[in-house]
A and B are shown apart, each in its own frame.
Chain A
Amino acid sequence: MNNKTKKTTDKTKLQVMRLKWQIIIVFAGVMVAVTILLAVIIAQRAGETMQMKTASLISNNTSQQVMNVDNYLQKIKTATSLFFSEEIYYTYDATSDELDEFEKIQRENAIVNRIQDLGVLENYEDFAVVYANNHTVGWASDSTYKIFADGDIYEGLNERISKEANDAGWFSDDLDEYRNLYYAKRLNKNAILFVSFYRREIESVFEVPDDMQGNLTIRLVNEDSTVLYSTDKSEIGVTLNREISSLIDGSTDNVILNSDYLITSNRCSTNRWSVVCTIPTDVIMKEMYEVKTFIYFISFIMFFLMLVFGIVILSRVSDPMNKIISSLTDKAEHDQLTGLLNKVSFENIISALMQKGTGNEVDVFVMIDMDNFKTVNDTMGHETGDKVLMRISTLIKKHFDAEAISGRLGGDEFAVFFRFTDDDRTGVRTTMQKKMQTFKEAFNEEFADEAESCSLSLSAGVAITGQGEMGFEQIYKSADTALYKSKKSGKNRITFY
């Protein structure tokens, strides 16, 4: 009988478990949603911050490099400006006949000394004055003669500075494969001072941060968008990529981020050259993907830990609840005095059970009633009466619980339901007669004292039916009728319907 009654309890527990899992699923769902939301927001913000930081970093780097370039170029301008400190340096005209040859040598020696003083510690490739007759004084390099292969250095330089407002100009030449960068400044109507330095000299100001090696391209670009220097050597001497050029066109200092590049462009203050840096956007995005992946990974770990934590908490809450539910269920289904099923539960269980089956089963309904129980109550008190009820319940459990379901229908009336699956109705009747006889003998032995003092005895009615032939009401009435016959025919007997 305990197994059967447990089913009801289990059902309730199942409902509680279901509720528990519903809570877990809802909790997990909320956690997933919140985690994803937070992860996406954090990743998004991290990505934006990284883009901004990278743009800012490269922009600052470019600004610094422009300052370095400006410093270098300004140093050259300063050296040439110092040529105007004394008239003998900038007024001398080698084409003039006003001085004799000796005087010219003296003046030129003075100019050479001046050049040596101004450029003595510098890595200048050229530092010389060329006159209208192409006579040079100072350091004129082979590269310069190569660029002006026709020997007309003066006119070549003149063309390059004539466009400029202050009779000075910066240039580099493809004939020299842009290896030297030049600054030329007019000294007088027949003399031009020119200085050149290797492109390599400014390479040192274009140091690419270690973590951007291979990705960041830094260029020095002239006003015609010709790349004078680039960390990508293949770009030197060619026109700046049209796409990049169009994006920075007309701007002096800017930072542009599109789907292809992060571009920074800063113009030198010394001349109209610019430092243009580019880094492919996907390189930045790659870094961002790594950060996002990390955020998502951490979020997953967080979610997992939170879920485990939630389950543990829920378990801690639901275990006592299950006990309470079990207790309440038990109290609702069982008679509090005897521990047997109460009438409602018994009827519900037996009704349900009788409807199930294959049709081959044989059901037996036994109704038990103690004779003269009222006398026990009247003479020995209700407490003794209650103890008698508890003792007969114990006796019923002892004899039938292994194979039947028992309940207290009220007062001193009890019911026991059997189902036989492997015997016919005749065999069942025989079996039941033996069982009941054994039980009655046990009763008589148990309550021998009460039988003597109060004439306490046992009457029972037994109804036997095939599965599906009767409902609960019918078998109940049949057993009750049989019990009535036992009572009517002198009590202390068992009657089969």
Chain B
Amino acid sequence: MKKIYRFFSVLLCAVFILNLSGCLSTDENVEVQSSVERITFSWWGGNSRHEYTMDGVDAFEQLNKDIKVDCKYGVWNGYTKRQNIYVKSNEEPDVMLINYSWIKEYSPEGDGFYDIYKLADYVDLSNFTKNELSYGEVNGKLNAIPIAFNAETIYYNKDLYDKYGLELPTTWEDFFDAAKVMQKDGIYPLGMGDKALFFFVISYFEQTTGKSPCDKDGNLVLTREDIEYMLKFYKRLIDEKVIPPIEQYDRIIFFQGKTAATMAWISDADRYCSDLLDNGVNVTVGEYPVAEGAKTLGWYVKPATMYAISNSTQNPEAAAKLLNFLLNSKEMALLQKTEKGIPISDSAYEALEDENMLDGISVTANQQVSDNQDRLSVMNTVLENENVYLGFVNESTYYLYDKKTLEEVASSIYNEFYN
């Protein structure tokens, strides 16, 4: 009987103690917080790119519950400075949208970005040809993967040209002739931003002088005289009202009909033209202007934008999963459409094709690139260097407004190029 006493005593004491201490829990383990890998992802662009990219990130997070993506984004203007800060401070986002020229700038030996070949288990590289991947390769290391091909293209408000009885320009002089007709109403035949202007002037320079701005190794070889030649053409464009001052240029003035054409990347075609097209305006892709007797077109094609992974990422697998989603997934392809150009990735292309999304002005512009493959040159990355194109544009202002002589400005630009 004593055993029974002891049994009940111990049992009661145990129940009391457990009850009072709250240990009679149904769960053995209490999970306070689940572990989530956090990665960062950066890009530049306008509203629509921001919105669909963030929607894509949401979709990615839904598919990968254990990965949380922090987004870092901004507009293009000033973004090079941002990227430079990331790189110099060694605080690069895990996954980055990068410019073609940044590969050479930040990874001359191929060690500046993560070698994506090492993450081939997570990134489906079979969607790209060897040649396509070669744009992102440095010393056999895959630093970045191109999203689409891109080229500066001229988009015309044909209704406006028709209004003035003008044919769409096919030569450089056609623009000057159009300006003579349109300037009475304060309308410019063409408008463009700083980088487009630089490429526009380079093309004119190449066509009319037969010189190339770069040597076969991709080094800039423009002389002071070459720069003076380019400056004169630029000043003529401004003085004869072919283009508005680039400081005043914004895509909105093309929409407002203050310029009858705009020069922009294929990847920006929808952004620049969609509002006009929505309003029923006839917007069309124009031919590349050609000078009489020109031997080269001086017009360039390049990977539109590329995705890269930081060399210092702590989560390469998670970063690679995001990279693969951005490049190859149907979800992202349908969100992105042709905003960055016609996707190179086979699976992304097929997704758009299946949904009949391969249309619009960017597709037309892309077709023009395909039609002129043999006349177009692959972009020399040095031409996209901010010191080069912004150096030219910013310094030239002193010449345009007669604050310095042609020689002084050319000399300043020359120093900017080579120092």
A interface residues, Cβ below 8 angstroms from B: 100-102, 105-106, 108-109, 112, 115-116, 119-125, 135-136, 139-143, 145, 151, 179, 198, 200, 204, 210, 294, 298, 301-302, 305-306, 308-309, 312, 316
Task: Give the chain B neighbours of A309 by CB distance below 8 A.
Answer: 8, 12
Q: Check A143–B47 contact: CB distance below 8 A.
A: yes
Q: Which of B71, B77, B247 contacts A108 (CB 8 A)?
A: B247
Q: A119-B78, A120-B82, A139-B77 are in contact. Are A298 and B24 (CB under 8 A)?
A: yes
In Å, the complex CA distance between A306 and B343 comes to 76
Bound state CA distance, A116 and B80, in angstroms?
10
Q: Which residues of A contact B375 (CB under 8 A)?
A: none
Q: Contacting B71 at CB < 8 Å: which of A105, A123, A301? A: A123
Contact across chains for B48 and A101 when beta carbons are under 8 A apart: no
Given contacts A141-B47, A298-B24, 4 further A-B contacts (CB under 8 A): A143-B47, A151-B252, A198-B54, A302-B15
| 26 A-B contacts (beta carbon < 8 Å) | A100-B401, A102-B400, A102-B401, A108-B247, A112-B77, A112-B78, A115-B78, A121-B72, A121-B85, A122-B74, A123-B71, A125-B50, A139-B75, A141-B47, A141-B75, A142-B47, A142-B271, A143-B47, A151-B256, A200-B54, A210-B33, A298-B19, A301-B15, A302-B12, A305-B15, A312-B4
Contacts of B50 in A (CB 8 A): 125, 198
Per the bound structure, the CA–CA distance linking A139 and B78 in Å amounts to: 10
Chain A residue at minimal CB-CB distance from B72: A123
Question: Which of A100, A105, A112 gathers the greatest number of chain B CB atoms within 10 Å?
Answer: A105
Q: Is the CB of B4 within 8 A of A102?
A: no
How far does the alpha carbon of A101 sit from the alpha carbon of B54 in the complex, in Å?
Answer: 40
Q: Contact at B51–A179, with CB atoms within 8 Å?
A: yes
Q: A141: which of B8, B15, B33, B46 is its contact (CB, 8 Å)?
A: B46
- Taking a contact as CB atoms closer than 8 A, the residue among A100, A112, A123, A308 that contacts B73 in the complex is A123
Contacts of A143 in B (CB 8 A): 47
Of all chain A residues, the one with the shortest Cβ separation from B54 is A200
Contact residues in A for B77 (Cβ distance below 8 Å) = 112, 116, 139
Asked if B118 lies at the interface with its beta carbon under 8 angstroms from chain A, I say no
B1 partner residues in chain A, CB cutoff 8 A: 316
Measured CB to CB, the closest approach of chain B to A231, in angstroms, equals 14
* Residues in chain B near residue A120, CB distance under 8 A: 74, 78, 81-82, 85
Closest to A146 in B: B47
Category for how many chain B residues contact A: 35 or more
B8/A305 in contact, CB under 8 A: yes
B245 within 8 A of A: yes
Residues of B at the A interface (CB closer than 8 Å) are 1, 4-5, 8, 11-12, 15-16, 19, 24, 33-34, 46-48, 50-51, 54, 70-75, 77-78, 81-82, 85, 245, 247-248, 250, 252, 256, 271, 394, 397-398, 400-401, 403
Shortest distance between the CB of A99 and any CB in chain B (Å): 12
Closest to A204 in B: B70
Identify A125's interface contact among B8, B24, B47, B271, CB under 8 A: B47
The smallest beta-carbon distance between B227 and chain A, in angstroms, is 20
**Once bound together, how far apart are the Cα atoms of A312 and B4, in whole Å?**
9
Return the chain A residue nearest B89 by Cβ.
Answer: A121
A490 to B: closest C-beta gap in Å: 64
Q: Which residues of A contact B71 (CB under 8 A)?
A: 123, 200
Q: Please name the residue on chain A nearest to B48 by beta carbon.
A: A142
Cβ-defined partner of B401 (8 Å) among A105, A141, A210:
A105
Residues of A within 8 A of B85 (CB): 120-121
Q: Which residue of A lies closest to B18 (CB)?
A: A298
* Contact A302:B4 (CB < 8 A) given known A122-B74, A140-B250, A142-B48: no
Q: Which of A102, A125, A204, A305 contacts B397 (CB 8 A)?
A: A102
Q: Which residues of B contact A210 (CB under 8 A)?
A: 33-34
The 5 A-B residue pairs with the shortest CB-CB distance, nearest first, are A116-B78, A102-B401, A142-B47, A139-B75, A309-B8
- Select from chain A the residue with minimum beta-carbon distance to B86: A121
Residues of B within 8 A of A301 (CB): 15
In the bound complex, how far is the Cα of B339 from the Cα of A458, in angstroms? 135
Q: Are the C-beta atoms of B81 and A116 separated by less than 8 Å?
A: yes
A135 to B250, CA, bound (A): 10
Tell me the complex Cα distance, A136–B256, Å: 15
Instruction: Point out which of B75, B245, B403 has the most chain A C-beta atoms below 10 A from its C-beta.
Output: B75
Which of A101, A123, A145, A294 is close to B245, meaning CB atoms less than 8 Å apart?
A101
Nearest neighbor of A294 in chain B, beta-carbon distance: B24
CA distance A145 to B46 in the complex (A): 12
A101 CB contacts on chain B under 8 angstroms: 245, 401
Residues of A within 8 A of B15 (CB): 298, 301-302, 305
**Bound-state Cα–Cα, A141 to B394, Å:** 23
CB-based contact B78/A308 at 8 Å: no
Contacts of B74 in A (CB 8 A): 119-120, 122-124, 139
Tell me the smallest distance from the CB of A175 to a CB of chain B, in Å.
13
Residue from B11, B34, B245 within 8 A of A105 (CB atoms) = B245
A309 to B6 alpha-carbon distance, docked (Å): 11
Residue of B nearest to A142 (CB): B47
Contact partners of A204 in chain B: CB under 8 A? 70
Bound Cα distance from A123 to B75, whole angstroms: 9
Residues of B within 8 A of A122 (CB): 74
Q: Does B12 lie within 8 Å of A305, measured CB to CB? A: yes
Complex CA–CA separation, A128 to B75 (angstroms): 12
Q: Is A145 touching B8 in the complex (CB atoms < 8 A)? A: no
Please give me the residue from chain B that is nearest to A308 by CB atom. B8
Residue of A nearest to B25 (CB): A294
